[in-house]
Amino acid sequence: MPPTESLSPELTQAFIQLIVKRTGIIIRESDQTAFEETISQRIKLTGSDSIAAYYRLLAAETYKSQEEWDSLTTEITNTESFFFRDKGQFKLLKNHIFPDLIKRQAQTKTMRICSAGCSTGEEPYSIAMLLYDLIPDIKEWNLTILGVDINSIALEKAREGIYRPWSFRGVDQDIQKRFFRQTNDHYHISDDIKTMVSFQTGNLLDNSSSNPFCHVKDIDLILCRNVFIYFSSTAVKTVLDKFYNALCPLGYLLVGHAELYSQNPDRFWVKMFEESMAYQRPGDTTTQPIASRSSALPQQIPSPTATTEDQLQTLDNSLTGVNLQMQKAALNLLRQLPGETRIAKLGNLTASELIQQYEQALKKID
Ligand SMILES: C[S@@+](CC[C@H](N)C(=O)[O-])C[C@H]1O[C@@H](n2cnc3c(N)ncnc32)[C@H](O)[C@@H]1O
């Protein structure tokens, strides 16, 4: 930064607004000192004459501007990841979602999966390892596992497929032995798994063709975990709409726990399982709902903030019905809502009040 200039609170806010609009990422107050340091560094490295000149560079729609965004985003994104992160969700994939998708796609032997915000590749490679074990004739399948991320440095590492022990926190040693070759404390992913996954740089908020969600259709499963926690709620809503359109009917969406806490994802079915929860794009009128096709899958529960009488009736039934598992699932669903959400069909009580009631009722049954 030129020595006479310093980043005022107003200018800092202007950069923060630009970033959230472009990438969805919110710079939190606790990160602002580090952020100001990053901006100063980028001003020096780009040789900008002034803070305003650097701002103009970012705000422009030019190739140079895009190049600078690529560099800046590598500085402001958190790329923390590890293999088989969230055991509950991987169990859910193994026990329910993949068996369902494999059965559904058995005729065409085609499956399309996307890890959105895949960072250094641990997530899509974990999916590849899981499918490698679940599909005996995997070589005959036309399988797409695409990892997308805004951070091009993270993607370089993903393409390399070489990992340190830190990426294997809590991972079964058998996985390391079967799918990795060790040299000192580096683990190289096997070619069998590496070739199952491809990577693409892309900004989930972007409306151009570099964002696969703007033109790719018929995805069977999207994983977008530990990404929305860094996003503004407006950005989450925009990306959710893109995901909805990119999924095929009955396609699944997995996000991190409580990442849709402030959202109303009522276009999706909310599906509660013992292991975890998933969102599902409803089937079109010619597609049978999943619950009626597989006894292994639980009944679908619509979002309680959805407005149709039928949907609320289903929730009402699940809460008051005799099926203990469904009651617990519904309780989980209520816990994901903002406490003050009122549910008209259930006496217009708030989610917090209902949670209290159902916890007490379940305690008695237990
Ligand atoms: C914490 S990592 C999560 C990695 C992996 N999904 C997991 O759960 O282990 C978040 C990733 O989201 C990426 N990301 C953030 N904003 C993005 C955007 N607008 N478009 C695409 N990727 C984004 C970051 O670069 C980062 O690699």
Q: What is the DSSP secondary structure assignment for residue 108, as one 8-state letter?
A: T
Q: Which of 303, 233, 298 is nearest to 266 (CA)?
A: 303
Is the CB of 23 inside a 6 Å radius of any atom of ligand 1?
yes
The range of the structural domain enclosing residue 23 comes to: 9-76
Same domain, 102 and 38: no
Domain count, the chain: 3
Is the CB of 211 inside a 6 Å radius of any atom of ligand 1?
no
Judge contact between 118 and 127, C-beta under 8 A. Answer: no
- Predicted pLDDT at 338: 60
CATH number at residue 157: 3.40.50.150
Same domain, 119 and 57: no
Return the structure tokens found at 26.
């919110």
Centroid of ligand 1 to alpha carbon of 149 (angstroms): 6
Is the CB of 24 inside a 6 Å radius of any atom of ligand 1?
yes
Judge contact between 199 and 148, C-beta under 8 A. Answer: yes
- Predicted pLDDT at 206: 93
Last residue of a domain, one of 240, 265, 296: 296
pTM recorded for the entire structure: 0.81
Judge contact between 180 and 188, C-beta under 8 A. Answer: yes
Same domain, 244 and 102: yes
Task: Report the C-alpha gap between 201 and 150 in whole angstroms.
Answer: 5
Predicted confidence (pLDDT) per residue in 286-310, tens digit: 544 433 333 223 334 444 443 333 3
Q: CA geometry: angle at 91 spanning 86 and 93, to 5°?
A: 100
Q: Report which secondary-structure segment, H or E, holds 163.
A: strand 162-163
SS3 235: helix
Predicted confidence (pLDDT) per residue in 27-60, tens digit: 999 999 999 999 999 999 999 999 999 999 999 9
- Specify the amino acid at residue 136: P
Does the pLDDT of residue 362 top 80, yes or no?
no
Confidence of residue 266 (pLDDT cuts 50, 70, 90): confident
The angle that helices 9-23 and 63-76 make with each other, rounded to 10 degrees, is 100
Same domain, 64 and 17: yes
